[in-house]
Amino acid sequence: MLPQLDQQTEQGELVGPGPLRYSGSLRLMRMFIGCLVLGLATACGSSVSNGEPGTAADESGEASGKETASLDPKKPRIPKRCGKGRKNRAECLPPQGWVKRLCDDVYPDVALHMFQPGTPWKRLYMLARAEPFNASGGSSLLGDKLERGEEVIALKRRSESDGQIQVGDNNAGYDVLRWNGACATIHDGDFGEDRPSRIVQSKVEWRRLGVPLRQHLEAQPAIFAAYEARRKSCHGFSMGTVSGDCESNDKLLMQEVVRYIQTGPALPEASRMP
């Protein structure tokens, strides 16, 4: 083989036998090496992407997935339409199964959604002061009495025909929702349907609101100013007697929250749902 190569070289021909004989093998080797390098690069790339924060596109995809999950029909929601059934034909009351769950506990976030303008729910207004008794057996805020002129939302009619009260007892009335998120039972004669000249709301407890809703409210300049004034004047008063400034600023904060809700803003979802 070597003499043949010398003769070819002497004749001025630059022909090497290696590439001609082993061209197929070299192509296979190049392909193997290329695949090996590509596989290593892919593996390395995967390990880096798993260890680093996601890109904006990744976050957008995750957000899209969350939005899709939020559209789950089984997820608890605040009703927006009147409940169906014979009992609700004459007035717009929420679905009764949902009302039962609502009145088992206190849901202040839900109340702020329900009291927004434009919702279809039947409003009632107290004509007399009353204890906030919850005849449904669920939670109630006993320390905060219903006041004259207080606005409430009718949830469920209680009458003899429904078996909710004893025969001969004329304490028929409604289970209602208050601004503070608690249910209460009021009796016929203690409320009216006409709006009074002065409307009041039960006290909305700031600390009971969900964090997303509080953050949303704090982003409103008037509410934030009232919140800061309340925080400074109430600092150090966790229990017992509080100062007059603390009480005044606490009341002002609640007034600003009510005023804002009555403008009909878009609110974040309630943190807790019945």
**Judging by DSSP bridges, how do beta strands 123-126 and 191-192 pair with one another?**
antiparallel
pLDDT at residue 136, rounded to an integer: 81
User: What is the full per-residue pLDDT of the chain (274 aa) written as tens digits?
Assistant: 444 444 444 444 444 444 444 445 555 555 555 545 444 444 434 333 333 333 333 433 443 444 444 455 567 899 999 998 655 667 899 999 999 999 999 999 999 999 999 999 999 999 999 988 888 877 766 668 999 999 999 999 987 655 554 444 557 999 999 999 999 999 999 999 999 999 999 999 999 999 999 999 999 999 999 999 999 998 765 555 667 889 999 999 999 999 999 999 999 999 999 9
Instruction: Return the pLDDT at 38.
Output: 47
Domain residue spans of the chain: 86-192, 206-261
Instruction: Supply the pLDDT for residue 234.
Output: 87
Task: Give the pLDDT of residue 75.
Answer: 75
SS (H, E, C) 182-233: CEEEEECCCEECCCCCCCECCCCCHHHCCHHHHHHHHCCHHHHHHHHHHHHH
pLDDT at position 27: 54
**What is the SS3 assignment for 173?**
strand
